[in-house]
Amino acid sequence: MRKFNDKIVYITGGSSGIGLSTGRLLAQLGAHVIVFARNETRLAAALAEMEGRRVKPKQMFAFRCLDVTDPEAVRTVMGEAVQSFGTPDILINCVGRALPHYFEEIDFAQFDETMKVNLYGIWNCVSALVPHMKSKGGTIVNISSMCGFMGVFGYTDYCASKFGVIGFSQALRQELQSYKVKVSVLCPPDTETPGFATENLTKPEETKAVSSGAKIMSPNDVAMALIKGIEHDRFMIIPGSEGTMAYLIQRYVPSVLDWFMQSAIRKAQKKRM
Ligand SMILES: NC(=O)c1ccc[n+]([C@@H]2O[C@H](COP(=O)([O-])OP(=O)(O)OC[C@H]3O[C@@H](n4cnc5c(N)ncnc54)[C@H](OP(=O)(O)O)[C@@H]3O)[C@@H](O)[C@H]2O)c1
């Protein structure tokens, strides 16, 4: 874990959930942590937690208010951050949101917002920072989801955005390899975060049935998997054995996963009738 000592790490969405847990762990590993999100009060509270875990006096901690869906703002704020704190060695794009609903209840405005937050937000931050990172080398981790490699009932807009994150990241990894910039994706399962609590408010019964037996991970365990994934330069970082199993089944015997999900969906639909 010495790999993280004195590294400059930018975390978008670092004021809550998985991003916050990652910042805390990296603070304990001697990294300089700069976090970005919209709400200043939550950013300040998150930063205080990270600073509380510093391991040396010269470690740098800072935050900047930023809406990642605004490409102009991202260019300006990231440009200023590079001037003030230096080019990041590690960029972790952790912003994302899910609002599960039946497909016909998702209007264009929701689809558009989901794509802007989950996919365009990553595009905006990567676009602003790659020109700097190319001359230094480093690592970019984009947060996708298990919904980034398997379709799940109730998540049509979310799956579209998270599948996009994986395709984007795989292509970018090839382009940046010669500049020694590594690109990875993190695909968490259900994780106990404020975002997950919001997500649970609108889940259709079928969506709950599909994931009812699955383990819910802690954000700290997910953050630990993320950090280990960076250390070992894995492209697909999938926290937990259940997630890895689902990935392998989806890849090699997708009909098994489909059968399992369809039977859970049918049972939930019978109960609704
Ligand atoms: N939790 C899960 O079960 C789970 C499972 C799979 C994948 N994921 C993915 O993991 C990532 C983190 O999820 P989480 O549950 O930890 O989220 P969370 O607790 O809701 O935190 C989201 C973070 O993103 C920031 N944010 C939201 N919209 C933003 C915007 N437009 N611009 C800048 N910052 C913004 C939030 O702060 P502000 O609101 O102040 O901006 C907050 O810091 C997401 O990409 C999510 O899709 C989560």
Task: Give per-residue pLDDT as tens, 140-199.
Answer: 999 999 999 999 999 999 999 999 999 999 999 999 999 999 999 999 999 999 999 999
Task: Kindly report, residue by residue over 192-244, the tens digit of the pLDDT.
Answer: 999 999 999 999 999 999 998 889 999 999 999 999 999 999 999 999 999 99
pLDDT number for residue 190 = 97
The pLDDT-based confidence of 1 (bands split at 50, 70, 90) is low
Q: Rg of the chain over CA atoms, in angstroms?
A: 19
Is 3 catalytic? The answer is no
Using the atom order of ligand 1, give the atom closest to the CA of residue 93: 45
pLDDT of residue 66 exceeding 80, the answer is: yes
Beta strands in the chain (DSSP E): 8-12, 32-37, 61-65, 90-93, 138-143, 181-186, 236-237
Q: What is the pLDDT of the chain when averaged over all its residues?
A: 97
Task: Check residue 226 and give its pLDDT.
Answer: 98
158 a catalytic residue: yes
Query: Minimal CA–CA distance to 142: which of 186, 196, 89?
Result: 186
Q: Looking at 15, 16, 21, 144, which residue is catalytic?
A: 144
Contact 154, 207 (CB under 8 A): yes
The contacts of residue 135 (CB under 8 Å, 6+ apart) are 87, 179
| Cα–Cα distance measured from residue 252 to residue 234, given in angstroms and rounded to the nearest whole number | 20
> Do residues 163 and 114 lie in contact, with contact meaning Cβ atoms separated by under 8 Å?
no
List the residue whose alpha carbon is closest to atom 18 of ligand 1: 195
Range 2-204+216-252: architecture per CATH: 3-Layer(aba) Sandwich (3.40)
State whether the beta carbon of 70 lies less than 6 angstroms from ligand 1: no
Confidence category of residue 273, pLDDT binned at 50, 70, 90: confident
Please give the average per-residue pLDDT across 252-262, as a whole number.
Answer: 94
15, 161, 162, 203: the active-site residue: 162
76-109 pLDDT, tens digit per residue, is: 999 999 999 999 999 999 999 999 999 999 999 9
The predicted-structure confidence for 113-135, as pLDDT tens digits, reads as follows: 999 999 999 999 999 999 999 99
> How far is CA 31 from its chain centroid?
19
User: Could you give the 3-state DSSP secondary structure of residue 201?
Assistant: coil
Q: What is the pLDDT of residue 150?
A: 97
Nearest CA to ligand 1 atom 20: 195
- State the distance from the centre of ligand 1 to the C-alpha of 178, rounded, in angstroms: 31
pLDDT of residue 213: 85
Q: Where are the domains of the chain?
A: 2-204+216-252
Q: Is there a contact between 203 and 224 (Cβ–Cβ < 8 Å)?
A: no
Active site residue 211: no
CA-based nearest residue to 22, from 40, 38, 39, 4: 4
Q: Please give the biggest Cα pair distance in the chain.
A: 62
Q: Which atom of ligand 1 lies nearest, measured to the CA of 196?
A: 1
Please enumerate in sequence order all residues whose Cβ is within 8 A of that of 252, keeping only pairs 6 or more positions apart, or say none. Answer: none
